[in-house]
Structure 1
Amino acid sequence: MAAAETRGANQSYREVLRNRRVAGLLLGDLLAHVGTGMILVAMPVQTLSIHGDVPKAIAIGMVEAAPFVLSTVLALAIGLGRVRIPPRTLLIADCVLRSLTFACLGALAVTDRLTLPVLIVGLFFGATFRMAGSSSRRLLATSMVDDTGRFAVNGLLGLNVTFALYIVGPVVGGLIVAATSPGVALFLDAGGALILFAAVVASVPRVAKDHDALRRRPSHESGWRILRRRPVAARLLVVEFFFNFLYMPIEIALPLYVRGTLDTDATGLGLMWGALGVGAFVGAALVNQLRNLPQRHLLIAIIALWAFCPIVLAFVGTLPAAMVVFGLGGLVWAPFTPVAYSFLQSGLAPDEQQQVVTLWTTGSMVAAPLGLLIGGPLIEVAGTTGGLVLSGGLTLLLVPIAVVAVLRGTTPG
């Protein structure tokens, strides 16, 4: 993986998009993320309308955490065990199940029959393939290019997330929720999953390039055993876990912050996520320009700079100022995931990709439900402002730990 920090021959975004299969899959991924971005606004609004006697922050935390439970179990079976399911199959299963789940939840919501327990149970089972599907998107896209195209593909995946998930999706979602109801946004997310399904079927061969190699030379090693041979990558996974863990209280605090401190509605929440997305879009667009920088140092700098975002946000009282702060946060945060995954994948053999990338994705994403479950009570006790400050302060404390963990030793192992 040391070569990942010095190689200067990576392809540009434009070069990898000349591959029509890659372009088709990325387009489906982009449109699917628009639907998911609407959910960022619709889901907390829907939850607040049906929370009943459950405290608001606790209800939001439970709804946000529910999709991670079963999906974590499946992803760990792949990353730590010997379960091997082709990424194409996993992603198709995720698209079909997500579409059915959100169509049903949307129908219940628009007919005023959706309750908090039903919403939680639906998300619990409907997201079974969520983590495995997320890692499968990356595996399929990067398997269709060579080593010099991997950095650009990871960057484009990040660009999709920032543009669709945090710009277009939340803004459109806020407008739809304000004009109609959250249930309509749930229906649209189901449609996005169907679009991704069509893109996978049309663009991804039944047996991708890297999985031809996997079938010829099957690997029975777990992802963790492979990571142990690459100590820096393993330690970086731990750092990323806590980076994501300490971020999650912000997702619970944000709708309460928008309603309370900023005194606005779902449209304001959509604009806040949109501001984050605009900043992240710019950051993601610049990822390919960062390929010659030392990647480990870059990752540590991102953690440090992001930590100031929630701290400053806590002391801002107007929507325009809050959008500027959140937008700058998105700018520094966006390169983290594509740089981290490119760094990780550069040192893996084809038959090691699925279990390690799935384990890495799981390790980073499992921080979300844990952070949400703790974030609810934390926000209830510390309040919205206190929760934001605590999230940023603890992230700052993570910086020296990251320096020791990621920079220790002269090679990634």
Structure 2
Amino acid sequence: MSTETSSRETNRSYRDVLRNRHLAGLLLGDLLAGAGTGMIIVAMPVQTLAIHGDVPKAIAIGLVEAAPFILSTLLALAIGLGRVTIAPRVLLIADCLFRSVTFTVLGALALTGRLTLPVLIFGLLAGSVFRMAGSSSRRLLATSLAGESGQFAVNGLLGLNATFALYIVGPVLGGLIVATTSAGVALVCDAAGALILLAAVLLAVPRSSREASSEERGAGAGRGVRGVESGWRILRRRPVAARLLVVEFFFNFLYMPIEIALPLYVRDRLDADASALGLMWGALGLGAFAGAALVNQLRNLPQRHVLIAIVGLWAMCPIALAFVDDLTPALVVFALGGLVWAPFTPVAYSFLQSGVRPEEQQQVVTLWTTGSTVAAPLGLLAGGPLIELAGSVRGLVLSGVLTLMLLPIAAMAVLRRTPHYGEARR
């Protein structure tokens, strides 16, 4: 029996895994923190447009959106390649502390009118150093609390949290806050969310013996003893997972110009304000919430085929959006896009983790997160000049067309089976 089939048969439901009070507490903290982060999805481009100065608007937004990924990518790569070993709990705590301090300072500067574009970029650069490693650590801690049979459900619940907080509650509240007060208030709210997650980690996730052994291996590696195996070497033994990572990289890369185009599209094409931008992200979130809620129902379907279908269906969203010039149909299109997009990440992570030994999880998941997430700053840096030259509407079309071109490549890469994948579980 294949690993993929056996994992589907043993998957537990959302309700089953939420009976674990420690896991439920961690997920609640993640949900509340995500709402704060969702606010700055709206607040950050608005704040950037207010202080961009002589820097072109699309370029300024791209630089600000890319800044949090630079240092965090370097740290996550070091962990994923086995060069650095830090316990997941420690990484997540550090991320919460750095984020809370950074956004408190940035929010205070914005409220007092002293925030400049270079200060904002530098603050995001330094304050997000643990961002990527913290993200993978949150997933590792949650799935470890649920056990192997709960991995699919936990990945789905993390996706449910992200869609509800990041794209429904957070953006809507962020749009209202920005419209009625200022973007600086939303930045402070994100700092408060990081503190809530910190409290949840400290209360719900005990310092386990597994973490202690992880720290000991890291100390041993520093003394010249052989450390943990590189996540890349592990992935090379699982060619389908490695190819899927490449697909996810380009899927995310081609999406990122949409984040730059959207605030300009809302302002110029829809002739609307920040609250409408919040509604757009909220619509995406409503659709994504419905899609994430259905993830657990997808466990009996071939996961590879589900992933390929998502790529093709999502590509139609930005193309359709480009032909809309009214807010209401734009909200409907973005909601449908969220519906088909939401299952991609939880299904991909479940597929990945089902073929990885417990001692390999941190390196592989961190490297995978890094490889898929590093597409964001690269896509933003490329998307800024692209949107500046092509405009928001043509930029949306180009994003969708290029994603459609990825579809046959993704199908050949992911649907091609290999007998080596999942051998570690046998």
> 1:285 is matched by which residue type in structure 2?
A
Matched residues in 1 for 2:2 and 2:277: separation?
A: 42
The question of whether the paired residues in 2 share the 8 Å contact of 1:82 and 1:221 is answered with: no
Per-residue CA deviation, residues 269-314 of structure 1 (Å, 9 max, x unaligned), is 0000000000000000000000010000100000000000000001
Per-residue CA deviation, residues 331-372 of structure 1 (Å, 9 max, x unaligned), is 000000000000000111111000100000000100000000
The question of whether the paired residues in 2 share the 8 Å contact of 1:2 and 1:412 is answered with: no
Matched residues in 2 for 1:45 and 1:295: separation?
A: 38
Within 5 Å, give how 1:18-167 maps onto structure 2. 18-167=19-168
Structure 1 residues 58, 2: closer, same or farther in 2, change over 3 A? farther
> 1:184 is matched by which residue type in structure 2?
V
Equivalent position of 1:401 in the other structure: 409
SS of residue paired to 1:83:
coil
Equivalent position of 1:205 in the other structure: 206
Within 5 Å, give how 1:201-280 maps onto structure 2. 201-207=202-208, 211=211, 220-280=228-288
The question of whether the paired residues in 2 share the 8 Å contact of 1:4 and 1:342 is answered with: no
Per-residue CA deviation, residues 220-274 of structure 1 (Å, 9 max, x unaligned), is 2100000000000000000000000000000000000000000000000000000
SS of residue paired to 1:260:
helix
Q: Residue 207 of structure 1: CA displacement? A: 1.7
Matched residues in 2 for 1:17 and 1:26: separation?
A: 9
Equivalent position of 2:169 in the other structure: 168
Give TM-score, length-normalised by structure 2: 0.95
Matched residues in 1 for 2:116 and 2:154: separation?
A: 40
Count of paired positions: 412
Give TM-score, length-normalised by structure 1: 0.97
Matched residues in 2 for 1:260 and 1:17: separation?
A: 44
> 2:208 is matched by which residue type in structure 1?
V
Structure 1 residues 12, 216: closer, same or farther in 2, change over 3 A? farther
Which residue of 378, 384, 387 maps to 2:392?
A: 384
Gaps of 5+ in 2: 218-225, 422-426
Equivalent position of 1:194 in the other structure: 195
* Identity over aligned pairs, percent: 76
Matched residues in 2 for 1:216 and 1:107: separation?
A: 40
Equivalent position of 1:293 in the other structure: 301
Q: Residue 146 of structure 1: CA displacement? A: 1.8
Within 5 Å, give how 1:314-393 maps onto structure 2. 314-393=322-401
> 1:301 is matched by which residue type in structure 2?
A
SS of residue paired to 1:185:
helix
Matched residues in 1 for 2:264 and 2:127: separation?
A: 26
Structure 1 residues 298, 21: closer, same or farther in 2, change over 3 A? same
The question of whether the paired residues in 2 share the 8 Å contact of 1:5 and 1:295 is answered with: no
SS of residue paired to 2:207:
coil
> 1:12 is matched by which residue type in structure 2?
S
Structure 1 residues 290, 8: closer, same or farther in 2, change over 3 A? same
Per-residue CA deviation, residues 12-50 of structure 1 (Å, 9 max, x unaligned), is 101100000000000000000000000000000000000
Equivalent position of 2:220 in the other structure: none
> 2:155 is matched by which residue type in structure 1?
N
Aligned alpha-carbon RMSD (Å): 1.4
SS of residue paired to 2:269:
coil
SS of residue paired to 1:114:
coil
Per-residue CA deviation, residues 77-108 of structure 1 (Å, 9 max, x unaligned), is 00113211000000000000000000000000
Q: Which runs of 4+ in 1 moved over 6 A?
A: 215-218
The question of whether the paired residues in 2 share the 8 Å contact of 1:106 and 1:186 is answered with: yes
SS of residue paired to 2:73:
helix
The question of whether the paired residues in 1 share the 8 Å contact of 2:167 and 2:281 is answered with: yes
Q: Residue 408 of structure 1: CA displacement? A: 1.3
1:12 aligns with 2:10: no
Per-residue CA deviation, residues 350-409 of structure 1 (Å, 9 max, x unaligned), is 110001000000001000000000000000111111100000000000010001111112
Matched residues in 1 for 2:68 and 2:211: separation?
A: 28
Per-residue CA deviation, residues 139-177 of structure 1 (Å, 9 max, x unaligned), is 000011221111000000000000000000000000000
Q: Which moved more, 1:2-11 or 1:324-333?
A: 2-11
> 1:76 is matched by which residue type in structure 2?
L
